[in-house]
Amino acid sequence: MKVRTPLSQGWTLRLNTDRDTPEGTPPRLAGTTVPAQVPGCVHTDLMAAGLLADPYLDRNESKAAWVGRADWTYASELPRREGAFERADLVFEGLDTVAAVRVAGRLLGRTRNMHRSYRFDVTDLLADGPAPLEVAFTSAYTEAEALREALGQRPNSYSEPFNYLRKMACSFGWDWGPTLVTAGVWREARVEQWSTARLAEVRPQVTVAGDGSGTVEVTVDLDRTTTGQDRPLRLVAGVGDTSSEVTVAPGAMTATVSVHTPDVALWWPRGYGEQPLYACTVVLEDAGGHALDAWERRVGFRTIELDTSQDEHGSAFTLVVNGTPVFARGVNWIPDDVFPTRVTADRYRARLTQAAEAGVDLVRVWGGGIYEDRAFYDICDELGLMVWQDFLFACAAYPEEQPLRSEIEAEARENVVRLMPHPSLVLWNGNNENLWGFADWEWEQALGGESWGEGYYLGLLPRIVAQTDPTRPYWAGSPWSGSWDHTPNDPDHGTAHSWEVWNRRDYSDYLTTVPRFVAEFGWQAPPACATLERALSERPLTAQSPGMLHHQKAEDGNGKLNRGLARHFAPPADFDTWHYLTQLNQARAVAAGVEHWRSHWPRCAGTVLWQLNDCWPVTSWAAIDGDARLKPLYFEMRRLYADRLLTVQERDGALVLAGCNQSAAAWGATVTVRRMGADGTVRAGAEVPFEAAGRSVALAALPRSVTEFGDVRGEFLVADADGLRAVHFGCPDREFAYPAASYEVRVREDGEGGAAVTVTASGLVRDLLLQADRLAPDARADRGRVTLLPGESCTWRVTGWARPTAHAAEAALFCVNGAPVRE
């Protein structure tokens, strides 16, 4: 059997001084060798050695810019080859990015792609004993800028040259991320020793027949030694308790074996059914039955289709799983750390579990990041989170000339094969915003006929998917209308991105269109106060303090935040109020969009929030900040993505109730609707019944007696049913005649390192929020904002709060109608 020896110990790192070192390089680094972690990267190794300040803190990012401009060498030692094996290979699952690999001084090869693996034959080099190994990294800037010079300038939404090499684009910075250009052995390095033959590639295609049976057709490519060329082999595949085998003829380099399983249990997205997974094993044996190599993954049986049929509204974009159309409740995923080797399986599980607990059923892996680790997709399989996987192109024109084209083809083929076993993977997407950029961002004029990536998105990539993974749909880009007959971001066709609202307009403009599928939309807010206080040392913090502005990467980001506030609120008097209102505005903006779009199912078939997570402490569109603290948006997403959502919407100039029911069971309810005054009195009321079938939306008209406001600045609507509440105000907060907030706070310790905080309102309290991190940095609350009517109470369960007091709780509570009048 093949033997794998990980190369994870004994690595060192040194600065290369063969060329001038970049400005800012510490002189003491010349000739200095430091311990290195593999997998890892230069930045984290320098931090561990005390040679680099944490670039996530204050404005240290700028002081670390030299690291990405320098050249570095990782060094270790390869083990002696065991004589029982015919062949020894040095394998790198990932090298970031431009590297020369040498063993015993001999150049084995050069790399220029972070997103693929590399294998080198080192059989002869290990025969005489351990051999020195060096991986010399050239700065990614050096390679990218040289290619830009050779191939010509291409349009790019950012100034950095990430589109000229195959590297995680966002390591060059983004409108939410720092510029920290990494280098290193970022995935596993190992030596593999084997004889006769090995499994070079395994491609399982999983299908489900109409009779409920399932088939896994496994195609393998083989690599043989010289003595193994003329030997017959046997390939044995197993799925669950069923297995099948074939004989591989001498000299054959590929083989296919099918395993047929009757009455398979179907894999479903969360909320639609269970997620049964079957062990799939492939064993390569010699003629005597001795195992030479083995491969194992888990697979799931399900069908996935993409409905793009024409209708009276345009053309659909609806995911259909096992014959059931799905409204996708999605989030966009960015790398969870700019240094991706720090993202462990436990961290993936924590973040994806948070997504699932918020009602998410689809995660889009965005094209400016990476093809994530296997653990990410394994966890999505288990949690029932559908994965929309972008190919790694984002916000730029990409040359189609060599050497990029061959690298992109190799990368795409390898990663399609690597990810195809996962039932959670439901869509391959060609790129992020590049087709849109060509059509609508004046790229076509700037390019002057030069290549820009169309050949990848409409030619190479769909061909690779069709050849390798034909059981899954491919879509050319996001946004993309399906053809050049319509502009790529046409909301009536295919996928759409909604960014005019955040950039230029109020979030009420979400209500003016019904896209077929909203693949990106969002609103910014700062991270939790405890996150800011950890990351920034300046005091007092203000929205315009230097550190805050450094950790705001969006163009005019704070200006957009403040203009968004001004449409709804009076100018905030202090930083704490600004912080609360910007976080509230983020939650409200997303709610306006999702409630509207979800109420238009099945015309609109999904929303994918930008974004779930952050990669460092920053003001951004994320629901979970860079220190893993939950912003108010997270709790709002949990309400918006619940199976049942009650909302007040406008149809044809009148207010209606929308009961959005994503569960399989019918939802029937009688809704209590009240028009209330700001003083808490009921001005009018009605009982409104509705019945929503499973996976449907029910609209119910509201009587005019309830919806006709006597004074829009002093009245509002409240609708309650089955523990759900919808609140509708007819004017901006700055115009509404709010009473001064009046409530009582009680705190009760629970004996488990936490407490229950109960607030009882004496009058209307709008959007009351407990910011738990103000109680203690590690404190967490179990819910977000709530609007209370006179006499109503709400309890927050808080964990991680060692010394609970009512006084501290009062200081951490915020609401729209100001500081409370103390009882």
Active site residues: 433
**Residue 85 backbone dihedrals phi, psi, to 5 degrees:** -105, 145
* Strand-pair partners of 133: 76, 103
Could you tell me if 320 and 268 are in contact, meaning their C-beta atoms sit under 8 angstroms apart? no
CA distance 14 to 18: 12
CA distance 257 to 244: 7
Question: Which residues 6+ apart lie within 8 Å of 448 measured at CB?
Answer: none
Residue 488's SS3 state is coil
Phi and psi (nearest 5°) for 146? -65, -40
At residue 522, what is the residue type? Answer: G
CA gap 530, 512 in Å, rounded: 37
Q: What residues are paired with 77 via a beta bridge?
A: 132
Task: Look at strands 518-521 and 496-498 and give their pairing.
Answer: parallel
Q: How far apart are CA 14 and CA 760, in angstroms?
A: 62
Phi-psi region of 210 (alpha: psi -120 to 50; beta: other; left: phi over 0): alpha
Which DSSP state fits 73?
E
Looking at residue 10, its amino acid is: G
Q: What is the strand order of the sheet 189-194 is part of?
A: 3-6, 189-194, 87-92, 118-121
| Alpha carbon 710 to its chain's center | 46
Distance CA 372, CA 340 (A): 9
From 665, 679, 690, select the one nearest 738 (Cα to Cα): 679
Residue in 529, 187, 170 with CA at minimum distance from that of residue 337: 170
Please choose, from the candidates 303, 255, 300, the residue with its C-alpha nearest in 3D space to the C-alpha of residue 279. 300
CA distance 766 to 729: 11
Dump the DSSP string for 286-313: ETTS-EEEEEEEEE-B--EEEE--EETT
Provide the pairing of β-strand 197-208 with 214-224.
antiparallel
Nearest Cα residue to 594 out of 642, 528, 631? 642
Instruction: For residue 327, give the nearest of 386, 382, 381 by alpha carbon.
Output: 386
Half-sphere exposure for 72 (CA within 13 Å, toward CB) = 32
Other residues' Cβ atoms within 10 Å of the Cβ of residue 9: 9
Question: 3-state class of 670 per DSSP?
Answer: strand
Where residue 710 falls (left for φ over 0; alpha for ψ -120 to 50; beta otherwise) is: alpha
Residues 411, 414, 415: CA angle, nearest 5 degrees: 85
Running DSSP on this structure, what letter comes out for residue 267? P
What HEC string does 20-38 produce?
A: CCCCCCCHHHCCCEEEECC
**Judging by DSSP bridges, how do beta strands 328-333 and 606-609 pair with one another?**
parallel
Inter-residue contact 441 to 295 (CB < 8 Å): no
Half-sphere exposure of 651 (CA within 13 A, CB side): 15
| Contact status, residue 173 vs residue 372, Cβ threshold 8 Å | no
Given a contact cutoff of 8 angstroms between Cβ atoms, the answer to whether 608 and 637 are in contact is no
Tell me whether strands 743-749 and 754-761 are parallel, antiparallel or unpaired.
antiparallel
